[in-house]
Amino acid sequence: MTQLFEKMTIVGVGLIGGSMARKAREEGLVKEIVGFGRTKKNLDSAVSLGVIDSYESVLLDAVQGSDLVVIATPVEKSIDIISTLLSKLDSQTIITDVGSVKAKVVDVFKESVNANAEFIGGHPIAGTESSGVEASYASLFENHVTILTPIEKNSKIAIERLKNFWIGLGSRVELLDPEKHDRILSDISHLPHVVAYALVNAVLEGNGISYAAGGFKDFTRIASSNPEMWSEICIQNKEAILDSIKTFRDNLNSISDLIENSDENSLYEMFRSAKNGRDSWLNAKEEK
Amino acid sequence: MTQLFEKMTIVGVGLIGGSMARKAREEGLVKEIVGFGRTKKNLDSAVSLGVIDSYESVLLDAVQGSDLVVIATPVEKSIDIISTLLSKLDSQTIITDVGSVKAKVVDVFKESVNANAEFIGGHPIAGTESSGVEASYASLFENHVTILTPIEKNSKIAIERLKNFWIGLGSRVELLDPEKHDRILSDISHLPHVVAYALVNAVLEGNGISYAAGGFKDFTRIASSNPEMWSEICIQNKEAILDSIKTFRDNLNSISDLIENSDENSLYEMFRSAKNGRDSWLNAKEEK
């Protein structure tokens, strides 16, 4: 593939940032990759794994001359970094992120009056419950969707460049309004995490966990995700998540009432529509 | 392995019954396998797949001369069949089942005054979301636990024979009181199914399902399970499941309150204990 950027800076070289760097190098999408992060040890191992070319210990040195800056840090931290960088970088530079919550982050750019660089929110819907640069791999984004959340203020050319970059990393790209993104992600990702954490805690209150098998293992896999990241996401996407929890709770209460009333037929209908909905989703997904 | 039974009858030749038959034959645990079921087509394919030797269209003909009768039908149906067979079979015959709910089924034997044969409740904690004899395979029970729920009325020799049979099928065997079994299974299996069905229905109310990825797929796999079987299980194990749902709902409400109050630290603690609990369980499981 053609080179799309001269120099890419990855702020936060973990699972996502590291996988982006690996694939970008493999495909020749960027010429140089510089890292920045909290811990020297992690950055050293990113260099020795060949994920980044070098790293800097001062943020402004790390982004110096970059035409693509990827912020792959927790959401709150991203907000700080983006508001610092917007005025410091020149108008040819694209800043993007990879976080699960978009509206709050995009607002920094929307409301900024002295921005030179452009910010476009990004979110690759891919990941594992592992974290850290050691867990990163180049094919992470293949067959996955990356959502970009540009706003009116963004130039068409910057949107196009970032879109091509993500296609080069192997993912399908879709554009969404930031608020719509947050509500959708709340349903398909944030709610399942909350539910999985609650379920594991409920089961731990009993004595049965040692008997649990494969179904339980799959069902609760996401409860082994990073608790720091997820507690932050829940606060940052509060309104949407509370809304998703409410819809879920209503559905659970309906099931619970039907069980209480021994209404097997209506229970069957509820379970059947869930099964049919999931099976149709899976078929549509597998056809892609 | 040595032969343990002369003739085994499988009532309901589906995923579980079919897998038991395949493995029993492979290991030489039984000499002859006869099937019984609702649909001729399924029984014909069980014969042509070599899962059973033959089948009968009348239940009493199918169990004639069997020293092991496995009831692998839905719970309500099992109750009918067991109460019919207990007085009709002789004292050398063991009747067992494979259902997810035990107390109600065991009660039939406990309360029976004219039983000749013995009934011992059984539950292999194994399965997939698929069903039918075509989905059955001999190694289904390997590395899985089968719980037997004998009561005082059972002879030691019958318990020992059935235990050795399940060990021969490749599973670890544990003995549990029927009520304790039902409460544990409610937590580790019935509750997760209810929650998965509720979650899929909640997500289907929104517009986001087409964006869902691998985490959602794993999390909701069990929502593609047989809705008929699961609505029946919920009614049959009503008290325990309502109790599990209550504990789960309390945990979900705590999380929801913490999100509402933006209490990130306490949220982190709740998520962390869930993660630690699951990780410890998984480590202990993998060491086995």
pLDDT of A50: 96
Cβ-Cβ contacts under 8 Å, B209 against chain A: 187-188, 277, 281
Collapse the DSSP code of B148 into the 3-class scheme (helix H, G, I; strand E, B; otherwise coil) and give the result. Answer: strand
Domains A5-176 and A181-287 share a fold: no
pLDDT of A285: 82
Name the band, by pLDDT with cuts 50, 70 and 90, for residue B131. Answer: confident
Q: Of A218, A251, A267, which has the smallest distance from its Cβ to B234's Cβ?
A: A267
Q: In what order do the strands lie in the sheet with B30-36?
A: B54-55, B30-36, B5-11, B68-71, B94-97, B118-124, B145-149, B172-175
Cβ-Cβ contacts under 8 Å, B250 against chain A: 202
pLDDT digits (tens, 9 = 90+) for B141-171: 998 899 999 999 999 999 999 999 999 999 9
- Percent of chain A at pLDDT > 90 equals 84
Q: Of B184, B210, B228, which has the smallest distance from its Cβ to A207's Cβ?
A: B184
CB contact under 8 A, A213 and B244: no
pLDDT of B288: 64
Q: What angle do CA B144, B150, B156 make, to 5 degrees?
A: 105
Is this model's pTM higher than 0.95 or not? no
pLDDT digits (tens, 9 = 90+) for B249-274: 999 999 999 999 999 999 999 999 99
pLDDT at A219 over 70: yes
Phi, psi for residue A6 in degrees, rounded to 5: -75, -55
pLDDT of B160: 97
DSSP characters over B194-206:
HHHHHHHHHHHHS
pLDDT at A130 over 80: no
Task: Answer yes or no: are the C-beta atoms of B67 and B93 closer than 8 Å.
Answer: yes
Name the band, by pLDDT with cuts 50, 70 and 90, for residue B65. Answer: very high
CB atoms within 10 A of CB B172: 15
Name the band, by pLDDT with cuts 50, 70 and 90, for residue A181. Answer: very high
Q: Taking CB atoms and an 8 Å cut-off, how many pairs form between chains A and B?
A: 289
Question: For chain B, what is the mean pLDDT?
Answer: 94
Residue keyed to tokens 């209550």: B246
Residue A50: alpha-carbon gap to chain centroid:
23
Mean pLDDT of the A202-226 span: 88
CB contact under 8 A, B277 and A200: yes
Q: Of B144, B197, B207, which has the smallest distance from its Cβ to A271's Cβ?
A: B197
- Specify the DSSP element, H or E, that contains A12: none
Mean pLDDT of the A46-57 span: 97
Q: Of A196, A197, A203, which has the smallest distance from its Cβ to B188's Cβ?
A: A203
pLDDT of A22: 97
User: Percentage helix, strand, coil, to 5, in chain B?
Assistant: 55, 15, 30
Mean pLDDT of the B14-32 span: 97
Collapse the DSSP code of A104 into the 3-class scheme (helix H, G, I; strand E, B; otherwise coil) and give the result. Answer: helix
Q: Half-sphere exposure (CA, 13 Å, Cβ side) for A34? A: 21
CATH fold of B5-176, please? Rossmann fold (3.40.50)
Residue keyed to tokens 């069903």: B131
Name the band, by pLDDT with cuts 50, 70 and 90, for residue A129. Answer: low
pLDDT digits (tens, 9 = 90+) for A198-212: 999 999 999 899 888
pLDDT digits (tens, 9 = 90+) for A11-51: 999 999 999 999 999 999 999 999 999 999 999 999 999 99
pLDDT of B1: 65
Question: Which DSSP letter does residue A188 get?
Answer: I
pLDDT digits (tens, 9 = 90+) for A73-86: 988 899 999 999 99
Q: What does the domain layout of chain B look like in residue ranges?
A: 5-176, 181-287
CB contact under 8 A, A200 and B278: yes
Query: Closest approach of chain B CAs to the CA of A4, in angstroms?
Result: 27
The CATH number assigned to the domain with range B181-287 reads: 1.10.3660.10
Choose from A15, A247, A278 for mutation: most chain B CBs within 10 A: A278
pLDDT digits (tens, 9 = 90+) for B220-255: 988 998 899 899 999 999 999 999 999 999 999 999
pLDDT at A52 over 90: yes
